[in-house]
Amino acid sequence: MLKGKLKIAVLMILLVFIIFLIIPKELKSGKYLSEDGLSFVTIEENGKLQFQRSVGTSYRPNGKYQLKGKQLTLEVNDNLIYEFEVKNDTLIFIYSTLSESFLEPGTKYTLLDN
């Protein structure tokens, strides 16, 4: 009985450690460029951002961001939100409240070397 409880305790500690390693603690500031090079997200250390969604538009939304676990939410205003998943130095576009999106879900943005 004691061996079973010990195994469970060790597994729980291991699980917590793995979760701690895979969930980002902070978002690295800098410019994240899309794979096709046609759009980018600039993350600033002060919690602000700028988003160039497409070379086909001159409008560059800017606002603030929040990181909760692996989910990054870019808030441009009360009505416009972009959501990304964070994986290491990559942002993966998931969703936008904009009815006409320039981005396909799954678009990847990689942090450029500073």
Q: Where are the domains of the chain?
A: 26-111
**Euclidean distance between CA atoms 66 and 26, whole angstroms:** 10
Going by the DSSP 8-state scheme, the letter that residue 69 receives in this structure is T
Q: What percent of the chain has pLDDT over 90?
A: 21
- 91-94 contacts at long range (C-beta below 8 A, 24 or more positions apart): 91/32, 91/41
Q: Report which residue type is found at 64.
A: K
- For the cut 90, the answer to whether the pLDDT of residue 86 exceeds it is yes
Sequence-separated (6 or more) residues with CB below 8 Å from residue 23: 69, 70
What pLDDT digit, counting tens, does each position of 1-46 carry?
667 777 776 666 666 555 555 445 578 899 999 999 888 889 988 8
pTM: 0.72
From the candidate CATH numbers 2.40.110.10, 3.40.190.10, 3.40.1190.20, 2.40.128.290, the one assigned to the domain spanning 26-111: 2.40.128.290
